[in-house]
């Protein structure tokens, strides 16, 4: 991704940094001067700069991924999509398989998504006891009004046939039937599970679990865009620091604080807290920037759009987040030189964000501020030009083009906005720097930079054939830059990350095939063989 020197066959690494790039012959002046060994384990592979996903939520999503999915329709999972289970028997089979592989009978099987309406009837205690009468089983329905439990789970919850309580279900003979209906009972039945999901060590477990998912997709650097929200600033920092020092998190992490939480917790000391954390941080774990959330999400249709708005205007759940005082809220960070990451999914929100950026520029002009609009789902070409004029950049969720856009053509956004979701071509023509991200996993999309690049290059809809807004496609080179060097630029670390260039960190993603050589439609199918972090294989 060093455009001046695009190809190389050898890279020399010392102390985790790149010393020289070229061929074994060309790097010889370095080799002659230093003791070295030649490692040819990747000689039949392709070395890319380590992939960067500049917007994820590993800590927050990792917690919930401990839940097994037993719903009737497809849902996202760390390793891609999970198929829906059409019937109750299919669900019971799935639970049986999970029970069979459960080594520690103390830890409950926790599942979500059961739909008694479409999966042919309720579960109950006796049915679940058939699957296991030793491993506790806890299933929360798709509409979480009801939880089903087997006998060991009832014991864990602390209820028996003599228990009294609204929503605790019984068989006609008075025995508990394993149902917990409505909020009071579901809250009661959830506590022991929450203790497992959120218990001591759960934060670490979540980070480790999601870190492994990101690594498998070839990611070597990512940023948590809501630092502070899950457990608080210090505990989350500590969990990441320990995961790194224990060698269980093979990533570089940037912690980007969630503004409302930071302001509430630190008040006037917020800038000093961030400065102290930056001093404490290092090249593996550091903080950077500040995060604002200014509208809802694309799949839940809570983003804010300009005219003509939603297909069914009165149905859109928008306007929930006040935009008053945006300039005042951002100004202290802007003046202090802190990079601003501002979430905007709808084009109305993009307008508001651009207005805010313009106001900030008038009050206190800045160059190279790298103000980033996060997500940038629905936008216009003129907004791209204005973003360029104001010196901003965009971190774009491109996955929706494939996974959601066609569905929203007749549902929410209408055909025009849906087709033109994530206008990367417009950004490129306006010369706005941009990166691709997954937002993993606050929205139902997978985490895979190569899949993101495939979406950006091909823009193939969910039907598997239609090309959506062909003029918004970008080249393979641009897409690969958007998951490497340009993503590093978004995080203001392109001086140290994002390309295989002398002086940079020796972070590589090792692929089985060359993404510049395969057919563009096969980009997403390239296997990630390994990643290298600071010169060391993470396998």
Partner 1 sequence: MSQPIKARFDELDSAWSRVISTLNASRHHDQEKSNVQTDLAVTLLTGFLGSGKTTILRHALERPQGLKIAAVVNDVGEIEVDAYLVAAETPSRISLANGCVCCALADDLSNQLETLARTGDYDVVIIEATGVADPISVAQAIHGTNGCHLDGIVAVADSRSLEEQLGNHHTGSLLHRQLQAAHLVVLSKIDLVNEDIRQTAHDLVAEAAPGSRIVPVERGQIDVNVLCGAGDKGVSITNSEKFSNFDVVSTVINPAGPWDPIHLGNALEQSDHQLLRAKGWFDDQHGNRYHLEVVGRRWSIEPSSDGPFQALVLIGLDQIDVDAAATMLAGITKS
Among positions 417-446, residues that touch partner 1 (CB under 8 A) are 442-444
Based on CB atoms, which residue is closest to partner 1, 8 or 442?
A: 442
Q: How many residues bind partner 1 (CB under 8 A)?
A: 76
Based on CB atoms, which residue is closest to partner 1, 6 or 144?
A: 144
State whether residue 244 is helix, strand or coil: helix
Q: Which contiguous run of DSSP H or E holds residue 399? A: helix 399-403
| Two structure tokens written together for 333 | 């960070």
**Contact status: 267 vs partner 1 (CB under 8 A):** no
Residue 519's contacts (CB-CB under 8 Å, 6 or more residues apart) are: none
Based on CB atoms, which residue is closest to partner 1, 136 or 296?
A: 296
Based on CB atoms, which residue is closest to partner 1, 302 or 478?
A: 302
**Integer Cα distance of 333 and 134 in angstroms:** 54
Site string for partner 1, 212-251 (x = CB under 8 A): --------------x--xx---------------------
**Contact status: 152 vs partner 1 (CB under 8 A):** no
* Contact yes or no for 105/150 (Cβ under 8 A): no
Based on CB atoms, which residue is closest to partner 1, 25 or 465?
A: 465
Residue 370's contacts (CB-CB under 8 Å, 6 or more residues apart) are: 339, 392, 393, 489, 490, 492
Q: What are phi and psi of 110, to 5 degrees?
A: -120, 125
Residues between 463 and 522 that touch partner 1 (CB under 8 A): 463-465
Based on CB atoms, which residue is closest to partner 1, 314 or 328?
A: 314
Site string for partner 1, 309-348 (x = CB under 8 A): ---x-xxxx-xxxx--------------------------
Cα-atom radius of gyration of the chain, to the nearest Å?
25
- Which residue is associated with the tokens 């979500």? 112
- Choose which of 31, 46, 67, 518 interacts with partner 1 (CB under 8 A): 67
**Contact status: 398 vs partner 1 (CB under 8 A):** no
- Choose which of 40, 164, 362, 367 interacts with partner 1 (CB under 8 A): 164
Q: Nearest approach, Cβ of 313 to partner 1 (angstroms)?
A: 10
Q: Nearest approach, Cβ of 318 to partner 1 (angstroms)?
A: 9
* Contact yes or no for 176/170 (Cβ under 8 A): yes
- Short-list 265, 181, 259, 194, CA closest to 227: 259
**Integer Cα distance of 334 and 332 in angstroms:** 6
Residues between 187 and 206 that touch partner 1 (CB under 8 A): 187, 190-191, 193-195, 197-198
Residues between 289 and 308 that touch partner 1 (CB under 8 A): 293, 295-297, 299-302
**Contact status: 75 vs partner 1 (CB under 8 A):** yes
Residues between 354 and 393 that touch partner 1 (CB under 8 A): none
- Short-list 147, 56, 72, 73, CA closest to 110: 147
State whether residue 393 is helix, strand or coil: strand
**Contact status: 145 vs partner 1 (CB under 8 A):** yes
For 359, other C-beta atoms within 10 Å of its C-beta total: 16
| Piece in contact with partner 1 (CB under 8 A), picked from 166-174, 215-223, 392-400, 485-493 | 166-174
- Choose which of 105, 121, 144, 201 interacts with partner 1 (CB under 8 A): 144
DSSP string across 502-523: TTSB--EEEESS-TTTS-GGGG
């Amino acid at each position: 991704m060093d455009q001046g020197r695009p190809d190389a066959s050898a890279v020399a690494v010392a102390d985790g940094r790149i010393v020289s790039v070229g061929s074994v012959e060309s790097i010889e002046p370095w080799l002659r001067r230093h003791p070295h060994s030649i490692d040819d384990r990747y000689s039949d592979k392709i070395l890319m700069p380590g992939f960067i996903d500049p917007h994820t939520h590993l800590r927050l999503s990792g917690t919930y991924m401990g839940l097994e999915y037993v719903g009737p329709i497809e849902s996202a999972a760390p390793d891609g999509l999970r198929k829906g289970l059409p019937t109750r028997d299919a669900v019971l089979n799935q639970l049986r398989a999970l029970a069979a592989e459960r080594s520690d009978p103390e830890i409950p099987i926790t599942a979500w998504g059961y739909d008694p309406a479409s999966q042919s009837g309720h579960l109950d205690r006796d049915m679940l006891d058939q699957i296991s009468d030793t491993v506790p089983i806890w299933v929360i329905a798709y509409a979480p009004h009801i939880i089903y439990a087997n006998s060991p789970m009832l014991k864990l919850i602390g209820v028996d046939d003599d228990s009294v309580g609204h929503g605790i279900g019984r068989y006609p003979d008075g025995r508990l039937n394993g149902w917990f209906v409505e909020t009071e009972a579901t809250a009661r039945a959830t506590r022991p599970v929450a203790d497992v999901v959120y218990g001591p060590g759960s934060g670490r477990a979540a980070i480790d679990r999601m870190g492994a998912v990101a690594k498998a997709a070839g990611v070597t650097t990512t940023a948590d865009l809501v630092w502070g929200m899950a457990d608080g600033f210090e505990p989350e920092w500590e969990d990441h620091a320990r995961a790194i020092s224990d060698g269980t998190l093979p990533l570089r992490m940037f912690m980007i604080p969630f503004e409302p939480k930071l302001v509430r917790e630190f008040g006037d000391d917020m800038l000093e807290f961030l400065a102290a954390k930056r001093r404490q941080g290092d090249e593996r774990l550091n903080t950077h920037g500040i995060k604002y959330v200014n509208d809802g999400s694309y799949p839940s249709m809570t983003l804010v759009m300009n005219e003509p708005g939603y297909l069914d205007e009165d149905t859109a759940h928008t306007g929930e987040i006040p935009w008053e005082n945006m300039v005042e809220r951002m100004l202290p960070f802007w003046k202090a030189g802190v990079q601003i990451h501002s979430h905007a999914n709808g084009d109305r929100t993009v307008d508001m964000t651009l207005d805010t950026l313009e106001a900030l520029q008038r009050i206190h002009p800045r160059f190279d501020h790298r103000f980033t609009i996060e997500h940038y789902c629905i936008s216009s070409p003129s907004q791209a030009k204005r973003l360029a004029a104001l010196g901003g950049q965009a971190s774009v969720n491109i996955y929706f083009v494939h996974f959601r856009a066609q569905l929203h053509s007749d549902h929410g956004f209408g055909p025009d906005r849906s087709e033109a979701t994530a206008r990367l071509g417009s950004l490129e023509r306006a010369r706005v720097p941009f990166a691709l991200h997954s937002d993993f996993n606050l929205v139902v999309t997978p985490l895979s930079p190569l899949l993101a690049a495939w979406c950006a290059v091909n823009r193939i809809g969910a039907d598997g054939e239609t090309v959506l807004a062909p003029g918004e496609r970008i080249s393979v080179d641009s897409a690969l830059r958007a998951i490497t060097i340009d993503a590093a630029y978004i995080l203001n670390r392109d001086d140290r990350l994002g390309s295989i260039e002398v002086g940079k960190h020796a972070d590589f993603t090792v692929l089985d095939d060359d993404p510049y050589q395969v057919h563009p439609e096969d980009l997403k199918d390239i296997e990630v063989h390994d990643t290298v972090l600071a010169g060391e294989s993470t396998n």
